[in-house]
A = this chain, B = another copy of it.
Amino acid sequence: MQMGEGVEWALHSCLNLGWIDGAAVTATRLAAFYDLPPAYLNKQLQALARAGILTSTPGPRGGFRLARPLEEITLLDVVTAVEGAEDAFRCKQILRNGPDGDPAVDYRETCVINGAMRRAELAWRRELAAQTLAELRATVESRHPGAPAATRARLTVNRLS
Quick check: A120 and B112 within 8 Å, CB to CB?
no
Q: Considering the chains assembled together, what is the distance between the CA atoms of A95 and B120 in angstroms?
A: 30
Within 8 A of B (CB), among A81-100: 83-84, 88-92, 94-95, 97-100
Interface SS, A side? helix
* Residue in B12, B113, B119 whose CB lies within 8 Å of A11: B113
Is residue A104 contacting chain B, with contact meaning CB distance below 8 A?
A: no
Q: Cβ of A126 < 8 Å from any Cβ of B? A: yes
**A29 to nearest B CB, angstroms?**
13
Give the size range of A's interface with the partner: 35 or more
Also in contact, A92 and B5, with CB within 8 A (given A97-B35, A99-B150, A136-B112): yes
- A116 on the B face (CB < 8 A): yes
Please encode chain A, from 1 to 23, with 1 for each CB lying within 8 Å of some chain B CB and 0 for all others. Answer: 11111011101100100000000
> Across the interface, which residues of B come within 8 angstroms of A51, CB to CB?
none
Within 8 A of B (CB), among A42-89: 75, 83-84, 88-89
The 6 closest A-B pairs by CB, nearest first: A124-B124, A120-B127, A35-B97, A34-B94, A123-B127, A3-B88
